[in-house]
A and B are shown apart, each in its own frame.
Chain A
């Protein structure tokens, strides 16, 4: 069975490529033949031409830079804080008993709903965006880290204890690696959420970044083509960064964990 599935892996890519090309072709044709009004949904070629006319590479690079800086910094700190709190809540019962209910209380609130409060607390500048993206990463990671800690096979801990490990060394050398697969899932989800939150925050209150770039184009009555290119750019960025994080996770735990 295994050789068969490898056989299909090659054709998967080809078929997927064909599918993607077909989809782009269908889009192009429907806009060219007037099936869809190019003024509201331009074909890919028109959109790219419009974008090339109205945007300089410098503008795009500048907005891209700000978006990436925001999402990476917010995500990094949010994920680190989430992992630390989640691991501590899973390891130290007393801390867990107090921290968990508070987290569970706040968790159902979507990160975007924090935007007004973030502005009240931190003003309209960068810190409020950072805070929202931080939350987007924090909640999935803290939940996953806690669950990972709670579902560690107790035999692993006992086995380590027979070698005299206890306290912080036991936590760092056995418990955290054992919880790593769950933690990794949370990190992946957290990245997706952070990214979605970034775009929303930039749409709602920002003066630079990719989200700002497209909403500004719309507010100034610019070209729909630019908006379409911007959307695709954000999508591609999300896809690439997600794949990169997936690959990094695989390098981290893939050698001993199946997924």
Chain B
């Protein structure tokens, strides 16, 4: 316990010194407060954001909720489509080979480059954002599910075959569980993509959501609000990703080092 405290001391001290220098730099005129809003101003900005809101009436929590809901809708839809599809494609080698280059290309298409096209399809509303998140998450998830199913340790399959398992039964009781760590890894990667896409998508044609908040704040010279928004985005991403890790650990207690399942 005390050792942990001692270990945390140098970074904490460094961090505090950095913030103090920053604050002092602004006070004594070395740094422009607009470019480097001091901690005191960020704190006041946070109070304003969580009470009155920015723009007035829309608190930081409501921005955050909007963003989270958008991500979850697109992410959820992507997972709901990609997991079953990937499980099927991965089980059929011929279909996998037919679709492989197509999937690689679709994954290479920069998700946000679709924005102008998707606006033509769905207008600049909610559906466009959810679609973009879904697109980005879908291909990442799909390729991971397929890889998970395809690259199951062949000795495990052989071992199961010695007990007479084949076909669907072999798939269900051996291939599927063996693919789970990779599927979970894909889910975590896809979530990262989702958060990346939403921030970009919200910067165009909307005033709600954290991406819109940080962009709007800039045009009103409220850089402290931009910084708060960034920190909240980081915090949400971090929390959800940690939640997924915990879920993974609870659901796959047998998989030792989860970071090692990356290929």
Q: A interface vs B, CB < 8 Å?
A: 11-12, 15-20, 22-23, 40-41, 94, 97-98, 100-102, 105-117, 119-121, 185, 193, 195-196, 198-200, 203-204, 210-211, 214-215, 217-218, 224, 227-228, 230-232, 234-236, 238-239, 242
Query: CA–CA, A116 to B35, complex, Å?
Result: 11
Q: B interface vs A, CB < 8 Å?
A: 7, 10-11, 14-15, 34-35, 94, 97-102, 104-106, 108-117, 119-121, 192, 195-196, 199-200, 203-204, 210-211, 214-215, 217-218, 223, 226-227, 229-231, 233-235, 237-238, 241, 262
In the complex, residue of chain B having the shortest beta-carbon distance to the beta carbon of A1:
B154
Beyond A40-B121, A121-B35, is A108–B11 a contact (Cβ under 8 Å)? no
Chain B interface mostly helix, strand, loop or mixed? helix
A105 to chain B, nearest CB (A): 8
Beyond A15-B98, A98-B14, A203-B200, is A113–B229 a contact (Cβ under 8 Å)? yes
Q: Are A234 and B110 in contact (CB under 8 A)?
A: yes
Query: CA–CA, A123 to B82, complex, Å?
Result: 40
Which of B111, B204, B231, B262 sits near A204, CB closer than 8 Å?
B204
A187 to chain B, nearest CB (A): 15
16 A-B residue pairs with CB within 8 Å: A12-B97, A12-B100, A16-B102, A97-B10, A110-B237, A111-B196, A112-B200, A113-B229, A116-B215, A185-B262, A199-B112, A218-B119, A227-B117, A231-B114, A235-B110, A238-B108
Beyond A117-B223, A211-B113, A235-B113, is A16–B101 a contact (Cβ under 8 Å)? yes
A193: B residues at CB distance < 8 A: 196
Query: CA–CA, A105 to B234, complex, Å?
Result: 8
Q: Are B116 and A218 in contact (CB under 8 A)?
A: yes
B53 to chain A, nearest CB (A): 18
A102: B residues at CB distance < 8 A: 11, 14-15
- Given A199-B110, A231-B114, A239-B108: 15 more A-B contacts, CB < 8 Å: A12-B97, A101-B15, A106-B234, A108-B235, A110-B199, A112-B200, A117-B230, A193-B196, A199-B113, A203-B112, A203-B116, A210-B113, A227-B120, A231-B109, A235-B113
